[in-house]
Amino acid sequence: MAQIFKATKKPLKQQSLVLDITAMDHHGRGIAKHNNKVCFVSNALPNEQVKATIVADKARYSEAQTHKVLQASEYRVAPFCEHYNQCGGCQLQHLDSGQQVVEKQIAVSKLFEKFAKLDELNWQAPLLSKATHYRRSARLAVMFDKKAKKMHVGYRASGSKSIISINECPVLSEVFANVFTVFDNLINQHKALHSVSHLQLCQGDEQNFVIIRHTKPISESIKALVAQSAAEQQWQLVWQSESEVIEHSHLAMPFYALEELGLKFEFGLNNFIQVNASVNQAMLKQAQNWLALKGDENVLDLFCGIGNFSLVLAKQAKTVIGVEGVASAVAMATQNAHTNLITNAQFNCFDLTNKIETASWFNKNLDVLVLDPSRTGAITVLEQLPLKQFKTILYVSCDPVTLARDSAIISQAGFELHKIGLMNMFPHTGHIETMALFQRR
């Protein structure tokens, strides 16, 4: 019988290295050189010297963890969260909040130079919000700790599947300030609640929701106890069993209003909405201002969700066609158009990873293209669309790598990057949201 040889991984030598940090990558990690390779160093800032330990050694790069700062950056600050060294949520609390935006912009510029061969970008003022209590939605994990013999309610630890018990989250909306302690007490007091796997939080303009995901049936008496505690905090409870459907038809529909734009958006608790309400509103106003529609344009809004951009632009355009792959979002977008008395916007459910040449919604009389894709970017549709029919393309990105990659395709189709700006949707994290405006040459 033949034996197959399997090479065993050599354990990394846990030696301390002194590294000089020269820059920051788009994930918020410091960049250094070690053994003629790029080394990405967590918790390290540009112009710092740190002691670090290699935690991963790949063929083309390595990764390291800082355990002592030998020479600190002038922008290094003390983290404000008690859980910062354990929680995997915020990676950049050790960097001044203003400088976070500066470093993110530098990182995006380097990616554009690498992927799109564009080295002079017309940066606009960044869109900012308050640096704390900006999250109106979040997902909390619940897990049993065998060592502590108790349930933990919190976030996942950095680089681990384990759960960190959280006392308070300074970036979460203040309406959920007590959510960790309330549910930690409830779940550990009642064994029937050990089947709870996670909690989903969502703040609407008038109601605050806690969706409780559980894997086994829970008695009505236990649910009543939880409901009483939730009512004291002014939270609306929604129980979700193993089904992916979140049933909340017994409650008033959640919504957010854009008063300056005269719009109201209802949404289902399973629909995507932007986490940062303040930046979302500023983002939509900026889209309006940058596009400066005159009223005779036909707009194609791809990855339109519940109509966040579509309905704003419909107020200035001749027509808007919104396309989204999630049926429940399309239904909500259609409902929002009706609620806001908007008749020049229509919405279509279509998987934008498929071929679009036969799509009923597509025609050749379109002037403006709006893209708001997921982190995978919009390469599939950009490679299929006859881009030269558009006069303007507005690209809203949550991943700077795919934005830079897709910008190369847009540039090759005859467009120039007219404006670009950061939208700091997630302060203190490595997430980078960007808006880019392209105009046909």
Which residues participate in catalysis according to the annotation? 398
User: What's the CA gap between 91 and 156, in Å, rounded?
Assistant: 13
What tokens does 78 get?
Answer: 């003390």
What tokens does 112 get?
Answer: 């554009």
Residue 304 near residue 323 (C-beta atoms within 8 A): yes
User: What's the CA gap between 373 and 381, in Å, rounded?
Assistant: 10
Residue 215 near residue 195 (C-beta atoms within 8 A): yes
Map residue 311 onto helix, strand or coil. helix
* Cα→Cα distances 13→17, 34, 59, 131, 308, Å: 11, 14, 16, 39, 51
Residue 245: other Cβ atoms inside 10 A: 10
Please name the amino acid found at residue 298: N
Q: What φ, ψ does residue 68 adopt, rounded to 5°?
A: -160, 135
Residue 412: other Cβ atoms inside 10 A: 11
DSSP string, 127-178: B---SSS-BSEEEEEEEEETTTTEEEEEEEBTTSSSEEE-S--TTB-GGGTT
Per-residue DSSP letter, 32: E
Strands (E), 280-407: 298-302, 319-324, 345-349, 368-371, 392-397
